[in-house]
Amino acid sequence: MSLKKSKATPFFPRGLMSVLMLVSFAGCAPKPQPLLRVTVLYPGADASDVETDLAQPMESMLAASPDINSITSICSAGKLEAYINVDRDAVPQEVVHRVATSLDSLHTLPASAQQPVVEVLPQSTTIPDAQPKLIDAIVLDMKPGAAAEHGVTEYELATVLQAADVEDVSADERLQQLRQLRVRTSDNAEVPLTELCELRIEKSPDKIVRTWP
């Protein structure tokens, strides 16, 4: 039996046609969407402070970038992690440079916040599913007059608290430890932490999750 071929329609054996279809579909696969992460440490701050002092101003600054599609900010005690979805056609390292430059020019960040770290995450990385829960949190309210009198800045106080931080203790134990803590002043004296700030325990979410837009 002979096989007739039309002059108008090219003929491909069945196996070759399958290979061509696979190659065609593979070539049409969309480029992965790059994901960046901005990490900022903010010693002594609770999740609400991290949201107000870091996440909100950072989102306002970066929202104008044409390469940024969305921002998910996870605010927890002493730390901000912002996950940034970048346009597929953008060059990730160029976006990293622009984001870092923008954050360097953001002068509203608190003095006690550390330098933001911007990085490109592996393609397999997904944004964490952060579910907030209520915890016993220690709230610290500075006494501006007393702090100024002793020459202690908010940044210095946050550094002291970070150095004295102890994990795996209850909020009550942590509060008792802080009430016994002494802080070195500008004239090289030591004063109780309780002279510089008020300390209390209150229920607070362990994290706050924000999304933009």
Angle (nearest 5°) at CA 65 between 62 and 70: 70
Q: Say how far residue 102 (Cα) sits from the centre of its chain.
A: 15
CATH number at residue 143: 3.30.2090.10
Residues 186 and 174 in one domain: yes
- In which residue are the tokens 């609770």 written? 46
Domain count, the chain: 2
| Domain extent for 146 | 134-205
pLDDT tens across 138-154, in order?
877 888 889 888 888 87
Q: Is the pLDDT of residue 19 over 60?
A: no
Model confidence, pTM: 0.68
| Window from 13-27, 86-100, 152-166, 186-200 with minimum mean pLDDT | 13-27
Residue 4, domain member (yes or no): no
pLDDT tens across 77-108, in order?
889 999 999 999 999 999 999 999 999 888 88
Contact 179, 195 (CB under 8 A): no
Residues 116 and 155 in one domain: no
Residue 211, domain member (yes or no): no
Give the Cα separation of 212 and 71 in Å (integer): 5
| pLDDT over 70, % of the chain | 82
Strands across the sheet with 207-212, in order? 117-120, 35-41, 79-86, 68-76, 207-212
